[in-house]
Structure 1
């Protein structure tokens, strides 16, 4: 495979530190989930990245299938704790189609194809629980 893009993130201080990107002026104050402090946590950033990646994969499928619709992808990411230090993530993706003549079943099939194309979906497959649902708004 050829590399289309690479980036490098640097974090100092873990969940309560600072994050920056090598190729951007983006700098993020990292805060623990639920702390009430101003900043962001890894789960929020993962949710945004996954939603953007999935919606992009859906655009590729839309083009391949010559379908017509607008889409919104929502990603809910949960940080789970089992016994002791047994931490896991769970993701719920909900994809909404707008401005389309596709049925709910037809759209769901396109969503399933996008799930096979999306790099985030490939990376998480078999590693964390991911639930994918869809709806068509009229």
Structure 2
């Protein structure tokens, strides 16, 4: 296996701490969401995960679509919703919903592109079998 890219982020203080990347481009405070008893007012790990998954999945959609159609980056939008849920056994788990919109293709083509993107996206492959991921597709 050949490493294409690697990054390191240090977090001090957990959900109410700070996150800093090794290149200094990411430097932010973290805060537990108010909805689960935190103070809020700063990004939380679920928001960062949602941003990463949406960005990665959007790039996978663009890559797959370009193999079939003329499509520009701004014709693909992904909204990722990440939730924390309490399971019956008391464990806390993540859920993900990806709402994908592709402009300039018909619904059948959009569904096929997104299905292939879900098979190739590194985030999808990392969570497959571990996190419930629901995907909805809109073609415009």
TM-score, normalised on structure 1? 0.90
RMSD: 1.6
Instruction: Indicate if the aligned counterparts of 2:19 and 2:29 stay in contact, CA closer than 8 A.
Output: yes
Unaligned runs of 5+ in 2: none
Instruction: Indicate if the aligned counterparts of 2:84 and 2:94 stay in contact, CA closer than 8 A.
Output: yes
Tell me the CA shift for residue 55 of structure 1. 0.4
Corresponding position: 1:24 with 2:24: yes
> What is the distance in 2 between the residues matched to 1:119 and 1:85?
29
Residues 66 and 36 (structure 1), Cα distance of their counterparts in 2 relative to 1, 3 Å cut: same
Match for residue 47 of structure 1 among 39, 47, 50: 50
Tell me the CA shift for residue 60 of structure 1. 1.0
Task: For 1:6-25, list aligned pairs within 5 A.
Answer: 6-25=6-25
Corresponding position: 1:115 with 2:127: no
Unaligned runs of 5+ in 1: none
User: What's the secondary structure of 2:7's corresponding residue?
Assistant: coil
> What is the distance in 2 between the residues matched to 1:25 and 1:129?
31
User: What's the secondary structure of 1:112's corresponding residue?
Assistant: helix
Please list the CA deviations of residues 99-133 of structure 1 after superposition, one character each: whole Å capped at 9, or x if unmatched. x1x22111111000000110000001000100011
1:73 match: 78
2:133 match: 130
> How many corresponding residue pairs?
135
TM-score, normalised on structure 2? 0.89
Please list the CA deviations of residues 6-48 of structure 1 after superposition, one character each: whole Å capped at 9, or x if unmatched. 0001011101111110023321111002235321110000000
